[in-house]
Amino acid sequence: NYGTAISGTKRNDSIFKIYAADLKQFDEFCLKKTIEPNPARKWTGYVRGVVKFVQEHCPEFRQGANLVISGDVPLSSGLSSSASLEVAVGKFCQQLADLPLSHTDIALIGQQAENKFVGANCGNMDQLISALGQQDHLLMIDCRTLETKPIPIPHNVAVIIVNSNVKHDLVTGEYNTRRSQCEAAATFFGVKALRDVSIAQFKEREQELTVFDPDVAKRARHVVTENQRVLDAVAALEQGNLARLGELMGQSHDSMRDDFEITVPEIDYLVELAQVVIGGSGGARMTGGGFGGCIVAVAPVEKVEAVRKIIADNYQKQTGLKEDFYVCTASQGVRVC
């Protein structure tokens, strides 16, 4: 129930004039000229990049607009604020000129913009959930086939997000390194991607890979086991088995901490605090690209205030940072209001 909103009107030329209301900043560019980055204002890359790749898909798109952008997804927190913006811009362009773009097309255009214009080697998961999300459902996404499967959130269960307020930057941080390490592991196994490696196949060659590159081996172990945990988590949700879901979330966090090495002490501490209250009735783990950002917790509604209290009482004392606490609902993906 957090997102990005865009309101705009057509112009009688090919100029895009944009006002980012939350930043109180403007940007302007022409759709009849090659769209280039504006290095002085990072946020403009997500808008310019999407428009550029919309034009690649729909070369006739030259319709100018005045638009205002605002959003309440926390920035640089691992909550996909960039994907939310990209998908909103893509949908705006589609509506502006009645372009033949599906929501999946818009998601993939957002990924292209982030990869090739902004320079972050992200996958397509964040854009797909922003485009295809369903009310009161989690979405199982196959990022290769682009197939999706909605999974109902069990009744009386809350989704809690806690922002550590440790900021990260996927472009200048370690994200791209992890991506290249996973690609190296896939090459080692002779597959397109690590999803094609089973846990048994990984274990068979784990020692060999560790000798080759111990860091690459750890990254691969995380991805291979995490893929299985996703499938197991879907099964647990379908069975309403929150205890099993919580177990899997704990294993996932441990793997991100020890094998993928993308957590930080503040995030680990938030997970620890949440888990004290939640126990076996749900779970908690880091979410997002890592190196700061947020945790996600799943807990019975009646435990939300106790989770809020234990974190409020301890986190700032321990870290010197004040957390932000959100109780969320799964909402519909991109739409016209």
Asked whether residue 313 carries a pLDDT value surpassing 70, the answer given is yes
Alpha-carbon span 310 to 320, nearest angstrom: 15
Using CB atoms within 10 Å of the CB of residue 164, give its burial: 0 to 12 exposed, 13 to 18 middle, 19+ buried: buried
Q: What is the pLDDT of residue 321?
A: 98
pTM for the whole structure? 0.88
Alpha-carbon span 301 to 318, nearest angstrom: 26
Q: In the annotation, is 126 catalytic?
A: yes
Alpha-carbon span 287 to 328, nearest angstrom: 14
Asked whether residue 77 carries a pLDDT value surpassing 80, the answer given is no
CATH of domain 4-132: 3.30.230.10
Angle 209-210-214 from CA coordinates, rounded to 5°: 120
The H or E element that residue 285 is part of is strand 283-287
CATH architecture for the domain at 139-328 = 2-Layer Sandwich (3.30)
3-state secondary structure 135-159: CCEEEEECCCCCCEEEEECCCCEEE
Q: Which residues neighbour 36 within 8 Å (Cβ) at sequence distance 6 or greater?
A: 29, 48
Q: For the chain, give me the number of helices (H) and strands (E)?
A: 10, 10
Same CATH topology for 4-132 and 139-328: the answer is: no
Residues 127, 111 contacting (CB under 8 angstroms):
yes
Alpha-carbon span 159 to 294, nearest angstrom: 13
Region 272-288: mean pLDDT is 97
- State the amino acid at position 303 in one-letter form: K
Asked whether residue 57 carries a pLDDT value surpassing 90, the answer given is yes
> Per-residue pLDDT tens for 83-126?
999 999 999 999 999 999 999 999 999 999 999 999 888 889 99
Q: What is the pLDDT of residue 79?
A: 80
Region 223-234: mean pLDDT is 98
CA 205, 210, 216, 218 dihedral sign is positive
Which residue in the list 27, 72, 126, 169 is annotated as catalytic?
A: 126
Domain limits of the chain? Answer: 4-132, 139-328
- State the amino acid at position 258 in one-letter form: D
Residue 61 CA to its chain's centroid (Å): 28
Region 150-177: mean pLDDT is 85
